[in-house]
Amino acid sequence: MIIIAILIIFTAVTFLDTTPSTPESESTPRVAVSTFALYDAVRHLAGDKVDLFMIVPFGVDVHSFEPTPKELARLSDSALFIYSGAGLEPWASSFSKIVKALDISKSVELRHLEEAHEAHSGHHHGEKIDPHYWLDMANMVLATRAIEKTLLEILPEEKETVQKNTEAYIRQLESIDRRYEEKLSTCKSKQIIVNHNAFGYLAHRYSFEVHALTGLSPEAMPSAKTMARLIDMVRSEQIGTIFFESFVSDRLISNIAAESGAKVDVLQPLANITADEVEQGADLESLMMKNLQRLSTAMECE
């Protein structure tokens, strides 16, 4: 119903506003993306050859975002809309007929819940696929290839530049993967505790376990039994650090820390980033390296 209402409002706004929109340059196609991981890929591949924007504003949780009519009007003026798919943005597929759209989830290796390292908490909320696939660098390589192909359709005159940038970006992704593999193969512990399980792909690729307060939904509330079980786990396994995300309240994870004696740190799942991270010039590589440092400390890696 929310999507239908938004479409009705969007249609009305589009009908009433006859002023033509003006992108930065008439010769520069506008590309809209829904997550930071995709934003990072497009800006590396296309640079200033496209007018790139995140339809989900920086500092806003992707899971709970609903686009406004103003945001939809800007999206409608785009030459290309790239979104994650796999149920992460329920509103996105409704606009695939309005603009040229690319659902990246159709180009990567997805993991079903029965394969994922869920929190063993029973909070599956009806989801069948873990949508956080971009934290597996092998999937980011596949996503980058799909983005390259589609960018070349709207930038045929920039073929050499886009292809050169694609190869450089893929080398960067492969370097991230090697550094994770090297560091996380030396850890004393093979498990982490997080507020919600956005890190199943990462855990699967590097052979550690994720235990979460909730399943894939950051808005779900854990049971008292789950809270007690995780507190016991932190104590018995002598886990020194537990994690939450910048966009999620740390209240519950801090309660576990207070009861168990662990400290709290932040892991960035890269669906979106904060305004502070934008100001600091953060990119996928720098944030993945920060995550690696924090993971290696928490799991006591050499």
pTM: 0.83
Furthest C-alpha separation in the chain: 65
d(CA 198, CA 185): 21
Residue 230 CB partners (closer than 8 Å, separation 6+): 193, 211, 213, 256
d(CA 140, CA 115): 19
Residue 265 predicted with pLDDT over 50: yes
Residue 17 predicted with pLDDT over 60: no
What pLDDT shows up at residue 22? 39
| pLDDT digit string, tens, across residues 70-100 | 888 888 889 999 999 999 988 887 776 778 9
Domain range 2-177, its CATH number among 3.40.50.300, 3.40.50.1980, 3.40.1110.10, 3.30.565.10: 3.40.50.1980
Task: Specify which residues 130 forms β-bridges with.
Answer: 111
Spell out where the chain has E strands.
30-33, 51-54, 80-83, 101-103, 111-112, 129-130, 191-196, 209-214, 241-244, 263-266
On whether the CB atoms of residues 73 and 13 are closer than 8 A, the answer is yes
Domain range 181-298, its CATH number among 3.40.50.620, 3.55.40.20, 3.40.50.1980, 3.40.30.120: 3.40.50.1980
Segments of the chain assigned to CATH 3.40.50.1980: 2-177, 181-298
pLDDT band for position 11 (50/70/90)? very low
pLDDT band for position 222 (50/70/90)? low
Average per-residue pLDDT in the chain?
Answer: 83
d(CA 32, CA 76): 9
| pLDDT digit string, tens, across residues 132-180 | 999 999 999 999 999 999 999 999 999 999 999 999 999 999 999 999 9
Nearest Cα residue to 197 out of 186, 207, 211: 211
